[in-house]
Structures are given as C-alpha cells and as structure tokens.
C-alpha cells in the first residue's frame, strides 16, 4: 500500500455543504425511482434478470449467474445473442430505421454526415461481409486504430456481428504501443485510416501502423490492414510477396453486400479486449464478453442518464479508444436506440466555442464529458458558453477522475443553467459500466461525490483487513459482489487477473478497485484516486512503471522514477526523475526536451512528462524499492515527509539541492 487518503483531504471534503435536489419534472418521470435500490438489494440476481429484458436474446439464458468458480463469472448462462443485432438491426425491425443514429460532426467546419439506423445497418453488414472475405472468423482478434469517424463504430459493430473480438487502440498511442497490443492479442487484421483531423490539420495514422508492422516482423500476426480514406493524405502501400497486405476500406467494404445475417453467440463469447495500464510495464488486456456487458452498458446508460430514447439527443465526448467510448458511445447508446452526436476533433478547433456550437446546433440534451475538459473551459471563461444557447441540456455527466466541487458547480451552473443535475459516474475499464453514481431523478447531488452504488451494484469502503469503515472515514474502495459487465479475465493471463483484483480481499470475495475512497457522515462515497502506482492524467490511466521503462530505454538514462503530481488542469501530471548514465555527462543542454520527446514517441503524447528532473540519486528503501511518496512531495513542492525507511537518508537532500541548482522543468 502506498497511499491512504490523508486526514487533510478527508477534512477538506467534509466541508462541502451544498446539495442539489433533482428537478421536480425529471423526478416525476424518472426511469428509475428510489424503490429500485431496495428491490435490487433484496435480490440482485432477480434485478439483473429484469435488466436483461432490455436486450434481445436469440436464445434465452438458463441461469442468471454462475459464480461456482470465483472470480471467473458466467452471466446469463446458456443465452445466445448478437451484440450488433441488438445495437442496430432490432431498431430497424421495430420501424425506427429512419431515426438518426449518428450526427457525425467532422472537425473541419461543415464536414457533417447523418447516419440513420437503417444506413448503419447497411454499413455494418457490408463491413461484416468484408471482414469475412478477408478471412476473419469468429474468435479472431481485430485491432482498430481509427479517428472518431463513423467507420470506427461501423468497424466495432462489424467485428461484434461476426464474433471477432476487437481491440481498439487510441489514435494518440504510438507505433510501439500499437505493436505491443497487436502482438499481445494476436490481431489478424488492423483497421485504420490515412489520418484524421485534429487541431485544424490532417494528422496521419497509417504511418504508425506501418511502423508497428515492421516491429512485428514477417512472423507477426497481421494478415491485412484495412484502410479508411478520411483525409486523402498520401499513404505508403504495403504488400507481401504472396498477396496484398493493405486494402482500401472503400474498395472492400464499399463493394460488399448490405445483406448479412447476424449469427447468435454464447453470452460469454468474447466481445472485446481493451488494454489499460496496470502497476507493471505491461498493459493489461481487459476482456469483456457479450451478454452481461451489453446488459450492463444498456441498463446504466438508461438509468444513470435517465435516457428517453424518443426525445433525447445524447453526446459523449470520449474517444472510442477508451472504455468510455465503448460503453457510452457504441454499446450502451446504440443498444438503447438513441440519437447521438459523434465529434471527430478537439474542443477548441477552429475556435474555443466549438463544443457549445455543436450542442446548440444539435440540441443536445444529455452531455457526458471529463473533469479535465470542464476545468479547461472554466479557465477560458464563461463568456464563451454564455454566448451560445445551451437550453436544450437537461442532464450532465462527468467521468474519469474525481470532479472537484468548483468544477462541478461551474458545470452545473454555467453549462447546465442551474437546471441540470450532474451525475459524477465512477467506474473503470474493468467494470465495463458505471458502478457508483447519483440517480438523477432520486439523488440530491453533492459536488465532488459520486454518492452511492447504483441499484444492482454492491460497493463498500473497507480497511486493510476488509472491514467496512465507519461513516466519516477513509479506506479502500471495493465491489462486494459480481456484476454482469465485470471483466472476465486479463487476456492470456488468468493469474494476473486473480492477483490484481481478487487476492487482496480473497476471504471476503471482494473486487479490489485500486482506488481510495471516503464514506462521509451521510454514508455517501467520495472517490479520492488511485492507491497504487497508477496515475490519472486528464482522466486517462497511465502506469508509472510503463513510463519509467520508456525513459530507461533512452541511451542516456541509467535509472528513472515517475510519479503523478497534482495538476490544476489535468488532475495529475507525469513527473519524471532520472539519473543519467556516466557516459552521458550532464546530458547536454536539451536533455529535458529530448527525454520528453522520447516518452512521447515511445508511448504517445498523453504520457509526455510535464517535468523531467535530472537527479544524482533516487530515494530507495533498503530492499531497493523506489519511494515514490517522497518524490511526489518534491514534485508537488511539499516538505519531504518521513524518510526513516530510506536506505540512505541523505538522498533527499541531494535531490533537493540538485534541483535548486537549476535542472528541472523545461
């Protein structure tokens, strides 16, 4: 255990007195009302069985939950279904084919495209046929590395339709990160684009795929690369002696039939693998399966956002490269038959009011984004959103990191016109769906608190021995019973799955989330952040170890230690301490810029350290473990805490004096 919430943070939080009651109108017609909590608690499996009715099953299940071999769960045992059919075809069959599924908004002004459910069905069917033609079969893995364009959603659903688990890699990740994910799950096909539009320019994607393929070598798993033409940028074309590697999406998908019969798969058939950072250098491939995941995504999207599919226009600003995009752009919203906005670019392109223009233009009623974005808008000033008509909004959501009370109140009052509830939703890649959140028609919201587990979910805050802490105290966040959208394992590594999540509270059978939390005097939950060597930068999870390995792969670096330090804009920021090799001398004048660039290239721009500090020593315990707590003190400009377990107590003086001499931030 590295960090427990300090008494100071706990005390600060308990000073928050503001409460926001649900609007009367919303409460009167809420999808879920207060009785759901007790009903779900009395018989969770019966409650989940009720939620499973939201989904169309090709064959009904025989058992809600098989928990005979924990922590390996099976939900909706014996049931068969097709996820793509549930997200697309069934809405068309029900006569809603002309309803807009996606209002696509490209970053270049005026580059828009609406797709109805009927059109989406045709495109998904074409892509499914094309994938099969390229030799992809049920069970084969497909990597998707695409910008936020409709083809990304079509590609995911086409995979789901033929039972080929997808692994979407965020377009901001480097060629190395892409290659390691392709390799880990053995993807046979990569779906990418020439590029996408970001910050007013075409930004290439295909070269990273080319580079990843070179890294994977001739024996690599990839047989084909399917390339969407988005920007018209030049692309290098790869071919193997025995046939084409690269193929154009518009040629292969565009030429395929729009007829495709979806086959039903077992409820536990793998739907996707999403890589996320853990405490080691190797990312974890989180495996989600079909039935339980779809039930969880659909139920939570309906309950937490109080979704009225007939009238709402929904917009989630996440990227499909993260789990939020999977559950709350693709599977939840589409299973619920909603109309939603899909936006390709950055919030400030071509100018800072772009998001608010989109809300005004499409009359968005439910909006879901991250605290880091809200904080950056706060900085820009309320004049920008105030100049737009945001009166269509009726509900706001937040996800990715704790939302500080100031940001919550600003979000509610400036964006939501003081009308809209804010739902602060806690969940993880592993949980697949929202676990802790207010219910907008029930809960009186407290700025900064995710409040309570939603009906069906069991959450608790416990001490190191797994005993629930009393109200007013802090501890570790756990989930107390299995839930349908839970991860089933880590791809190819059952043991790591058991060790990471289920061994700490084995006796109690709790899922250990890796977050610290507080239960306040009313019993409501405040999530405080990670208690392991994982950082949260702009709502994205990064591993300290992964960045450390990237740094030591640089020829001038002997040793590196990375910590997440508090940051006003991004929640946490990456701060790196490095010891240079003797042969590198002082590293040269540009050493800091050089190392930042190196990490950017190895992992991706989000991992770029805010600070790189060249130091003569690192603080270590006698057993050689780096004491990141002390480095965090330095990075956050605090007085350095208890150093008694250091092997060499003078190290911290060395570091501090070295920094005083001027090496540091660039």
| Site residues for ligand WT7 per CB under 6 A | 276, 323-324, 399-402, 424-429, 450, 513-515, 527, 529-530, 536, 539, 541
Residue 97: C-alpha distances to residues 90, 93, 116, 140 (Å): 9, 7, 6, 30
Residue number with CB closer to ligand WT7 (49 or 606): 606
Q: Kindly state the smallest distance separating residue 178's Cβ from ligand WT7, in Å.
A: 18
Residues 6+ apart with CB under 8 A from 50: none
Residue placing its CB nearer to ligand WT7 in the complex, 108 or 405? 405
Q: How far, in Å, CA of 268 to CA of 75, rounded? A: 7
Identify which of residues 106 and 529 has a Cβ nearer to ligand WT7 in the complex: 529
Residue 71 or 529 having the CB closest to ligand WT7 = 529
Shortest Å, Cβ 366 to ligand WT7 = 17
Q: Which residues pair with 517 in a beta bridge?
A: 475, 527
Could you tell me how far CA 463 lies from the centroid of its own chain? 27
Separation of alpha carbons 459 and 467, rounded Å: 13
CB proximity list for 642: less than 8 A, separation 6 or greater: none
CB of 515 to ligand WT7, least distance (A): 5
Give me the least distance between CB of 197 and ligand WT7, in Å please: 24
- Give the integer Cα–Cα distance in Å for 563 and 575: 5
Residue with tokens 């499409």: 362
- Cβ-count burial of 626 within 10 angstroms (0-12 exposed, 13-18 middle, 19+ buried)? buried
Whole-number minimum distance, CB 558 to ligand WT7, in Å?
Answer: 31
Neighbours of 135 (CB within 10 A): 11
Contact 256, 161 (CB under 8 A): no
612: buried, middle or exposed (CB in 10 Å: 19+, 13-18, 0-12)?
buried
Smallest separation (angstroms) from ligand WT7 to the CB of 271: 17
188 vs 530, beta carbon nearer ligand WT7:
530
Quick one: 145 or 322, whose CB is closer to ligand WT7?
322
Which one, 425 or 608, has the nearer CB to ligand WT7? Answer: 425
Nearer of residues 117 and 302 to ligand WT7, judged by Cβ: 302
Distance, in Å, from the CA atom of 651 to the CA atom of 622, rounded to the nearest integer, reads 13
The CB-of-500 to ligand WT7 minimum distance in angstroms stands at 12
Do residues 300 and 484 touch, judged by C-beta distance below 8 A? no
Is residue 83 within 8 A of residue 432, CB to CB? The reply is: no
Q: How far apart are CA 440 and CA 47, in angstroms?
A: 19
- By C-beta, is 262 or 604 nearer to ligand WT7? 604
SS3 of 593-617: HHHHHHHHHHCCHHHCCCEEEECCC
Query: Which residues have a Cβ under 8 Å from the Cβ of 535 and sit 6 or more positions away?
Result: 541, 542, 543, 544, 562, 563, 564, 572, 574
How far is 342 from 215, CA to CA, in rounded Å?
Answer: 33
The minimum distance between CB 542 and ligand WT7, in angstroms, equals 9
Cβ 399 to ligand WT7 shortest distance, Å: 5
Strand, helix or coil at 167?
strand
Supply the minimum distance, in Å, between the C-beta of residue 205 and ligand WT7.
22
User: In the sheet where 473-479 sits, what is the strand order?
Assistant: 459-462, 473-479, 511-519, 525-530
Taking the complex as a whole, the smallest distance from the CB of residue 109 to ligand WT7 amounts, in Å, to 29
53 CB-near residues (< 8 Å, 6+ apart): none
- We find the least distance from the C-beta atom of residue 598 to ligand WT7, in angstroms, to be 24
Three-state secondary structure call for residue 134: coil
Residue 28 CA, distance from chain mean position: 32
Residue with smaller CB distance to ligand WT7, 513 or 551 = 513
Query: Which among 117, 57, 116, 124 has a CA at the least distance from the CA of 91?
Result: 117
- 151 or 424, CB closer to ligand WT7? 424
3-state secondary structure of 77: strand
Which of 290, 324 has the CB closer to ligand WT7?
324
> 35 by DSSP, 3-state: which?
helix
Could you tell me if 565 and 636 are in contact, meaning their C-beta atoms sit under 8 angstroms apart?
yes
* Shortest distance in whole angstroms from residue 73 CB to ligand WT7: 19
144: buried, middle or exposed (CB in 10 Å: 19+, 13-18, 0-12)? buried
Min dist. Cβ of residue 401 to ligand WT7 (A) = 5
Shortest distance, position 323 Cβ to ligand WT7, whole Å: 5
- CA of residue 222 relative to chain centroid, distance: 25
Cβ of residue 534: shortest distance to ligand WT7, in angstroms? 8
d(CA 228, CA 146): 8
């Amino acid at each position: 255990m590295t960090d427990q919430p300090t008494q100071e943070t706990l005390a600060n939080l308990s000073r928050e007195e503001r409460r926001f009651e649900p609007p009367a109108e919303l409460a009167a017609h809420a999808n879920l009302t207060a009785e759901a909590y007790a009903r779900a608690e009395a018989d969770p499996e019966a409650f989940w069985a009720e939620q499973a009715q939201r989904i169309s099953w090709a064959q009904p299940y025989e058992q809600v939950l098989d928990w005979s071999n924990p922590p390996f769960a099976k939900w909706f045992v014996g049931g068969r279904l097709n996820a793509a059919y549930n997200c697309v075809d069934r809405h068309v069959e029900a006569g809603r084919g002309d309803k807009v599924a996606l209002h696509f908004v490209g970053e270049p002004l005026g580059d828009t495209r609406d797709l109805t459910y009927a059109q989406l069905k045709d495109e998904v069917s074409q892509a499914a046929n094309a994938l099969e033609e390229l030799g992809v079969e049920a069970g084969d893995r497909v990597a998707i590395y695409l910008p936020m364009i409709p083809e990304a959603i079509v590609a995911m659903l086409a995979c789901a339709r033929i039972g080929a688990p997808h692994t979407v890699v965020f377009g901001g990740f480097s060629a190395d990160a892409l290659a390691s994910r392709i390799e880990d799950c053995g993807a046979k096909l990569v779906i990418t684009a020439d590029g996408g539009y970001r910050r007013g320019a075409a930004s290439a994607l295909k070269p990273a795929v080319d580079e990843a393929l070179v890294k994977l070598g001739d024996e690599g798993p990839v047989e084909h690369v399917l390339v969407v033409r988005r920007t018209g940028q030049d692309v290098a074309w790869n071919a193997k002696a025995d046939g084409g590697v690269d193929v154009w999406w518009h040629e292969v998908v565009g030429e395929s039939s729009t007829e495709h019969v979806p086959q039903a798969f077992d409820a536990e058939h793998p739907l996707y693998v999403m890589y996320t950072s853990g405490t080691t250098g190797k990312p974890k491939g989180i495996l989600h399966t079909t039935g339980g995941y779809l039930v969880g995504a659909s139920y939570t999207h309906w309950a937490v956002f109080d979704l009225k599919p007939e009238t709402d226009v929904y917009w989630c600003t996440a990227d499909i490269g993260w789990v939020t995009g999977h559950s709350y752009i693709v599977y939840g919203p589409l299973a619920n038959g909603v109309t939603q906005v899909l936006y390709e670019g950055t919030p400030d392109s071509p100018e800072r009011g772009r998001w608010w223009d989109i809300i005004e233009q499409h009359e968005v009623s439910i909006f879901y984004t991250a605290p880091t974005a809200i904080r950056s808008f706060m900085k820009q000033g309320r004049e920008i959103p105030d100049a737009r008509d945001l009166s269509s909004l009726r509900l706001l959501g937040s996800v990715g990191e704790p939302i500080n009370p100031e940001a919550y109140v600003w979000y509610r009052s400036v964006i939501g016109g003081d009308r809209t509830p804010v739902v602060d939703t806690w969940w993880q890649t592993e949980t697949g769906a929202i676990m802790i959140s207010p219910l907008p028609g029930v809960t009186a919201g407290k700025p900064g608190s995710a409040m309570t587990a939603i009906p069906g979910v069991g959450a608790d805050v416990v001490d190191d021995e797994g005993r629930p802490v009393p109200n007013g105290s802090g501890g570790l966040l756990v989930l107390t019973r299995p839930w349908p959208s839970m991860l089933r394992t880590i791809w190819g590594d059952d043991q790591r799955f058991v060790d990471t999540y289920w061994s700490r509270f084995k006796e109690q059978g709790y899922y250990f989330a890796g977050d610290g939390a507080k239960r306040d005097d009313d019993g409501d939950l405040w999530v405080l952040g990670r208690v392991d060597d994982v950082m949260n930068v702009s709502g994205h999870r990064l591993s300290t170890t992964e960045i450390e390995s990237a740094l030591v792969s640089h020829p001038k670096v002997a040793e590196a230690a990375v910590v997440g330090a508090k940051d006003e804009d991004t929640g946490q920021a990456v701060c790196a301490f490095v010891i240079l090799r003797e042969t590198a001398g002082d590293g040269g004048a540009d050493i800091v810029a050089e190392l930042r660039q190196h990490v950017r290239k190895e992992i991706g721009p989000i991992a770029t350290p805010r600070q790189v500090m060249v130091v003569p020593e690192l603080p270590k315990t006698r057993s050689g473990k780096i004491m990141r707590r002390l480095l965090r003190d330095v990075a956050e400009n605090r007085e350095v805490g208890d150093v008694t377990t250091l092997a060499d107590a003078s190290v911290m003086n060395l570091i501090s004096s070295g920094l005083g001499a001027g090496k540091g931030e660039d």
